[in-house]
A and B are shown apart, each in its own frame.
Chain A
Amino acid sequence: MNRKLINGLLVLIAIAIVVIITKDFVGNKAGKNTPNPYEYSVDQFRQVDSAKVLYHEVLTFPVGAETLSGIALADSLVIVAAGNQLLHYDRSGKEVFRKTMSDTANCITVDKEKNLWIGMRHQVAQFDLNGNMQQQWESFGERSVLTSLAVSGDKVFVADAGNRVVYQCDRKGNITLKIGEKNEQKGVSGYVIPSPFFDLALDEEGFLWVVNPGKQSLENYNADGSLRTSWGVPGMKLEGFSGCCNPAEIAIMEDNSFVTSEKGMPRIKLYGQHGELKGVIAPPDKFDTDSYYAPDVAVDAEHRVYALDFDRKQVRIFAPK
């Protein structure tokens, strides 16, 4: 009797041990209950005081393409270059036009005459609004990686991350000035471009602003390519630009306010014309965490911000509250 009882107890204990080990194994395998003692956390910087958030999201729509390249606005159209696709959306987010281009876009802008300028990897091409090619420039060479374009009158500015220079060209693609090459007399220290994020934009007076991404700053140039002014501080705190290559994307509003968009911990912010932080357009919690890509940004006359979200493959429109 006693022996039977002991055997029964032993069996029960054996079953209990098997259950505990299996539970532990399965639980552990699923990666549960094991906090990371070495966690890399920027959570404290993701929190933004809601009083500082000046915008709210008013419309979001999907982009029907796999590879997104850039966003631009023309009249009532939202134009998205997506790989070799050119897409038009109306302001309600309805796709109204789609065309396949001959090459893959890297970046896009629209000039005052509603021409599309598209930077491929090594080349610039001009299209009409319906994607009919008007001209294609010669290649800037194998080393070139074109990342941004801006057009003002007869000047086309081309950011080349590969050669770490901005070309000022005429409309036919002839280089009239190289901007940003190291030149102590002009006060230019040269661009530091750790990865291919290198954006530029023109302010209302037509002055050129270029992001120096390795220095987390925006640089402003005179017509002769000399440095006029610059601003920007590195840092995860709200007023700073976090990590390398930020701000990865910029846009300038009609009142010369700056919209900046960061990668790593994505966030979109608004700065005044002298670089003072005005507030936040879209805080980090609006985006997927740890995005390699900063949303590309474009702005309209009503100060709305159009963000191309590369992770969610969406156009997201933010308007002042």
Chain B
Amino acid sequence: MESKEAPKRMDRRKLIRNGMQLSLGLSLAGVAGWSATKSSSDDLVWQLDPFKCVQCGRCATECIVTPSAVKCVHAYALCGYCDLCGGYLKPDPNARTTAAENQLCPTAAIKRKYIEEPYFEYEIDEPLCIGCAKCVAGCTSFGNGSLHLQVRHDLCKNCNECAIARVCPAEAFQRVPASTPYLIKGDFTKGKKG
């Protein structure tokens, strides 16, 4: 019996969260800085809006780079640190463990780490991630939607016509200024539904 406006996030596990948020922020800021040196402030780069993405799998199959320049990123501020994680575990897993048969990710790119009873932290091993969005779908349906995709600008060739944008059924791809190349959930999206 509760209001169904945009989901409101809770101020919980602040220390861990802020630390992780900072590391995500720093790593993306580093990449943003790197990409900015390659482009003038007026340049545009491709990025996808995670709120439009419908997890169709084409980010993994259509990018001209192998594996894809699109990777999963984790907005720790939105994560519930759940034991029963919809993004990490297959639907109805045999057990909530790190055993391969229980993992949803086809490349085992998500690392599950015990924090304290009953909380677990999930980290993306980016070189392993192929941007398939399977975890994003699980997290969006059965979690807080903290896992989402982003074009990583240290990998993206910034094609004139992005091969994924051409086929993205959700029209989630857009050109954004090279100086602010990321659309991270919970960051650019304050107040948006998700």
Interface residues of A (CB under 8 A from B): 28-31, 34, 36-42, 45, 67-72, 83, 104-109, 119, 121, 143, 145-149, 161-162, 164, 192-199, 214-216, 234-237, 240, 242-245, 249, 264-265, 290, 292-293, 296, 310
Cβ 8 A contact of B58, one of A34, A72, A161, A199: A34
- Give the Cβ gap from B104 to chain A, nearest Cβ, in Å: 7
* Cross-interface CB contact of B7 among A30, A36, A193, A196, cutoff 8 Å: A196
A162-B11, A195-B144 given; name 12 further pairs at CB < 8 Å.
Answer: A38-B60, A71-B1, A106-B2, A149-B1, A161-B2, A192-B82, A197-B2, A198-B2, A244-B143, A264-B142, A265-B142, A310-B4
The minimal Cβ–Cβ distance linking B69 to chain A, given in whole angstroms, is 16
Question: How many angstroms between the C-alpha atoms of A26 and B84 in the bound complex?
Answer: 41
**Is B80 an interface residue when CB atoms closer than 8 A count as contact?**
yes
Give the residues from 7 to 54 in chain B that come closer than 8 angstroms, CB to CB, to chain A: 7-12
Chain B interface (Cβ within 8 Å of chain A)?
1-5, 7-12, 55-58, 60-61, 80-86, 91-92, 104, 106, 118, 132-134, 137-138, 140-144, 166-169, 193
Q: In the complex, which residues of chain B have a beta carbon less than 8 angstroms from the beta carbon of A108?
A: 1
Cβ of B145 to closest chain A Cβ, rounded Å: 8
Whether A290 pairs with B141 at a CB distance below 8 angstroms is yes
Given contacts A71-B1, A215-B118, A264-B86, contact A195 B142 (CB under 8 A): no
User: Would A194 and B81 be within 8 Å (CB), given that A38-B133, A244-B142 are in contact?
Assistant: yes
Residue of A68, A149, A164, A195 touching B4 (CB-CB under 8 A): A68
Given A106-B2, A149-B1; A244-B82 close (CB under 8 Å): yes
Q: Does the CB pair A36–B56 fall under 8 Å?
A: yes
A107-B1 contact given A34-B167, A45-B91, CB 8 Å threshold: yes
15 contacts between A and B (CB under 8 A): A31-B168, A45-B91, A67-B5, A69-B4, A106-B3, A107-B3, A145-B8, A145-B10, A196-B2, A214-B82, A215-B118, A244-B142, A244-B144, A264-B141, A296-B1
Instruction: Give the residue of A199, A214, A237 whose beta carbon is less than 8 angstroms from that of B2.
Output: A199
Interface contact A107-B2, CB-CB below 8 Å: yes
Q: Which residues of A lie under 8 Å from residue B4 when comparing CB positions? A: 67-69, 293, 310
Which single residue of chain B is at the shortest CB-CB distance from A310?
B4
Residue from A70, A83, A148, A242 in contact with B142 in the complex, judged by beta carbons closer than 8 Å: A242
Q: A29-B167, A69-B3, A195-B80 are in contact. Are A214 and B137 (CB under 8 A)?
A: no
Chain B residues with CB under 8 Å of A265's CB are: 141-142
Question: Does A40 lie within 8 Å of B169, measured CB to CB?
Answer: no
| CB closest chain-A residue, reference B4 | A310
| Chain A residues whose C-beta falls within 8 Å of the C-beta of B58 in the assembled complex | 31, 34, 36
Q: In the complex, A194 Cα to B92 Cα: how many Å?
A: 19
